[in-house]
């Protein structure tokens, strides 16, 4: 994500080369952009921050240099995929692709072209780093030693943590439900085609795709293969300004508008509706979840809940973990209570450990409405970190420590064999000592 931001920052400073690593250069503008991560540092630490920023950039340049020497490869599909991911992120930040184009005074295709080489270099850096530390895994003995080396008064404290499982099911639309939403979209399309309503106004008023609705249904520029097959199959048949018939996908029911096409890139808009479920579909879903709850409560809870989640849950974020939620920061199933979304906390607040909730209405991350069972598997009181309760977190800390040491050893090996030059502005930086020694070594050779 930093590349586009760095480009914007670079326009504000007079550029110069401040360091060289092999055939790669570090610009003053790169350092200024990297310094943004230290923007909250106190004034007394700003000089150190500047040194650390250059150190981090030089590490990346050495990884890139060695990646090229080792002939590591990044294919065009990887680069294009990363560019698309970044453009999607910036579309969210700026509000629309039009806003991005106005900011840069360039088309999206031109912007992607400008950053293609930089993205390829960054992917090479990451591939090289993965080659160095990708297989680093601490042994149980190393995890124990890492934990024992932490002073007891420096061990982190953890808030109340919960282990929570869920089984999420979406009521299935009947034939009548599907017919109603299809007819509604066809009438909407007819009104648009006859000029009675605009596509934009209908998308804003009715589309259930929240991300695109406020942008008149605009999905931006994408390749056909970036959509689900049913959607892309309908889209590729459209001509400029034409609107498809109703298309059903796993996300719901759509009408699609072709705004423009350039080669294999399509600029589309859509209106997404869901089938309004009749009470019968809702009752069947709640009845099924009630049956699952009864089966779990009279058997081996953990194993039965896991088995039913694999078999019945429709939430892809948790289904393949046996229904268990995880903390996105630590990848642990023990989630700090203050990081739970409000609707989940409300659902488990009155449960005792081992209890399962009644079927609760819920809209999941795919914006699907359904019902779920919540299972409170365990609850840890606030505590200081220990191996028994916090092994996954401590293992992750030990792994990051071991990776850092592996990278340090790798840098010490290759810095003396690489041409290094740093401008005199950074002579007082102790954080750059290893690079200064490398520079002296390379001059000696």
Q: CATH number of the domain that 75 lies in?
A: 1.10.4030
How many structural domains are present in the chain?
3
pLDDT of amino acid 176: 87
Instruction: Give the model's confidence band at 9: pLDDT under 50 very low, under 70 low, under 90 confident, else very high.
Output: very low
Q: Is the pLDDT of residue 101 over 90?
A: no
DSSP 340-398: S-HHHHHHHTTPPTT-BPPPEEEE-TT--EEEEEEEEEEEE-SEE--HHHHHHHHHHHH
Show which of 354, 384, 414 is a domain's final residue. Answer: 384
Instruction: Give the model's confidence band at 443: pLDDT under 50 very low, under 70 low, under 90 confident, else very high.
Output: low
Q: Can you tell me the mean pLDDT for 342-366?
A: 92
111 & 7 share domain: yes
Among 360, 365, 345, 376, CA closest to 289: 360
Does residue 147 fall inside a structural domain?
no
Least confident of 61-75, 83-97, 302-316, 387-401: 83-97
pLDDT of amino acid 374: 97
Q: Across all residues in the chain, what is the average pLDDT? A: 89
219 & 361 share domain: no
Q: Look up the domain containing 266 and give its range.
A: 175-273
Does residue 149 fall inside a structural domain?
no
Q: Can you tell me the mean pLDDT for 162-181?
A: 91
Q: Can you tell me the mean pLDDT for 96-109?
A: 85
Q: Can you tell me the mean pLDDT for 114-130?
A: 94
Instruction: Give the model's confidence band at 98: pLDDT under 50 very low, under 70 low, under 90 confident, else very high.
Output: confident
Question: Taking a C-beta distance cutoff of 8 angstroms, is the pair 177, 284 a contact?
Answer: no
Does residue 391 fall inside a structural domain?
no
Does residue 150 fall inside a structural domain?
no
163 & 223 share domain: no
Tens digits of per-residue pLDDT, 200-242?
A: 999 999 999 988 898 999 999 988 888 999 999 999 999 999 9
Secondary-structure breakdown of the chain: helix, strand, coil percentages, each rounded to the nearest 5: 55, 15, 30
Does residue 436 fall inside a structural domain?
yes
260 & 187 share domain: yes
pLDDT of amino acid 5: 42
pLDDT of amino acid 235: 95
Q: Is the pLDDT of residue 316 over 90?
A: no
Q: CATH number, domain at 180?
A: 3.10.50.40
Instruction: Map residue 445 onto helix, strand or coil.
Output: coil
Q: Can you tell me the mean pLDDT for 378-407?
A: 91
Does residue 264 fall inside a structural domain?
yes
d(CA 278, CA 327): 35
Q: What's the token pair of residue 43?
A: 């004034």
% of the chain with per-residue pLDDT over 90? 60
250 & 164 share domain: no
10 & 101 share domain: yes
Q: Is the pLDDT of residue 371 over 50?
A: yes
pLDDT of amino acid 440: 57
pLDDT of amino acid 102: 87
427 & 338 share domain: no
Instruction: Give the model's confidence band at 14: pLDDT under 50 very low, under 70 low, under 90 confident, else very high.
Output: low
List C-alpha distances in Å: 262 to 172, 223, 234. Answer: 38, 10, 17
d(CA 318, CA 304): 15
Does residue 373 fall inside a structural domain?
yes
Q: Can you tell me the mean pLDDT for 95-104?
A: 83
Does residue 145 fall inside a structural domain?
no
17 & 129 share domain: yes
Show which of 352, 384, 416 is a domain's final residue. Answer: 384
Q: Is the pLDDT of residue 320 over 80?
A: yes
295 & 266 share domain: no
pTM of the model: 0.61
39 & 94 share domain: yes
Q: Is the pLDDT of residue 40 over 70?
A: yes
Buried b or exposed e, range 29-41, using 16+ CB within 10 angstroms: bbbbbbbeeeeee
184 & 312 share domain: no
Q: Can you tell me the mean pLDDT for 102-129?
A: 91
Q: Is the pLDDT of residue 62 over 70?
A: yes
pLDDT of amino acid 218: 93
% of the chain with per-residue pLDDT over 70? 95
DSSP 197-240: S-HHHHHHHH-S-HHHHTTTTEEEEEEGGGS-HHHHHHHTTPPT
Instruction: Map residue 60 onto helix, strand or coil.
Output: helix
Least confident of 11-25, 51-65, 74-88, 393-407: 11-25
Q: Is the pLDDT of residue 3 over 70?
A: no
Q: Is the pLDDT of residue 407 over 50?
A: yes
Instruction: Give the model's confidence band at 95: pLDDT under 50 very low, under 70 low, under 90 confident, else very high.
Output: confident
Q: Can you tell me the mean pLDDT for 247-253?
A: 92
Q: Can you tell me the mean pLDDT for 143-158?
A: 93
Instruction: Give the model's confidence band at 10: pLDDT under 50 very low, under 70 low, under 90 confident, else very high.
Output: very low
pLDDT of amino acid 256: 97
Show which of 273, 299, 330 is a domain's final residue. Answer: 273
Q: Can you tell me the mean pLDDT for 377-401?
A: 90
166 & 125 share domain: no
Q: Is the pLDDT of residue 11 over 60?
A: no
């Amino acid at each position: 994500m930093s590349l586009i931001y760095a480009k914007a920052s670079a326009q504000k400073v007079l550029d110069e080369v401040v360091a060289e690593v092999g055939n790669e250069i570090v610009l003053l503008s790169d350092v200024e952009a990297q310094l943004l991560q230290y923007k909250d540092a106190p004034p007394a630490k700003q000089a150190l921050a500047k040194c650390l920023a250059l150190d981090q950039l030089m590490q990346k340049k050495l990884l890139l240099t060695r990646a090229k020497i080792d002939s590591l490869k990044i294919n065009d599909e990887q680069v294009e995929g990363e560019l698309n991911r970044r453009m999607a992120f910036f579309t969210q930040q700026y509000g629309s692709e039009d806003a991005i184009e106005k900011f840069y005074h360039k088309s999206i295709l031109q912007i992607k072209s400008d950053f293609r080489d930089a993205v390829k270099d960054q992917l090479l850096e990451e591939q090289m780093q993965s080659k160095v530390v990708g297989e680093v895994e601490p042994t149980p003995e190393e995890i124990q030693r890492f934990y024992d080396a932490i002073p007891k008064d420096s061990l982190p404290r953890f808030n109340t943590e919960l282990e929570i499982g869920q089984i999420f099911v979406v009521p299935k639309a009947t034939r009548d439900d599907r017919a109603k939403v299809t007819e509604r979209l066809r009438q909407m399309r007819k009104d648009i085609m006859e000029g009675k309503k605009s596509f934009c106004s209908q998308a804003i008023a009715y589309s259930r795709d929240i991300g695109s609705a406020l942008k008149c249904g605009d999905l931006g520029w994408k390749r056909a293969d970036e959509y689900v097959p049913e959607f892309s199959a309908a889209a590729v048949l459209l001509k400029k300004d034409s609107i498809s018939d109703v298309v059903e996908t796993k996300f719901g029911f759509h009408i699609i508008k072709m705004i423009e096409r350039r080669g294999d890139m399509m600029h589309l808009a859509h209106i997404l509706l869901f089938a309004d479920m009749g009470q019968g579909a809702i009752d069947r879903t709640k009845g099924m979840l009630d049956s699952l709850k009864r089966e779990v409560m009279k058997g081996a809870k953990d194993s039965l809940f896991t088995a039913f989640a694999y078999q019945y849950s429709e939430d892809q974020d948790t289904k393949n973990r046996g229904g268990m939620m995880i903390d996105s920061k630590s990848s642990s199933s023990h989630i700090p209570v203050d990081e739970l979304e409000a609707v989940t906390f409300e659902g488990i607040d009155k449960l005792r450990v081992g209890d399962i909730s009644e079927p609760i209405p819920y809209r999941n991350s795919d914006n699907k409405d359904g019902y779920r069972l919540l299972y409170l598997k365990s609850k840890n009181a606030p505590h200081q970190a220990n191996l028994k309760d916090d092994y996954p977190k401590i293992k992750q800390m030990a792994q990051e420590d071991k990776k850092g040491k592996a990278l340090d050893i790798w840098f010490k090996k290759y810095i003396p064999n690489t041409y290094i030059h740093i401008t005199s502005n950074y002579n007082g930086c102790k954080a750059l000592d290893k690079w200064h020694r490398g520079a002296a070594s390379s001059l000696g050779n």
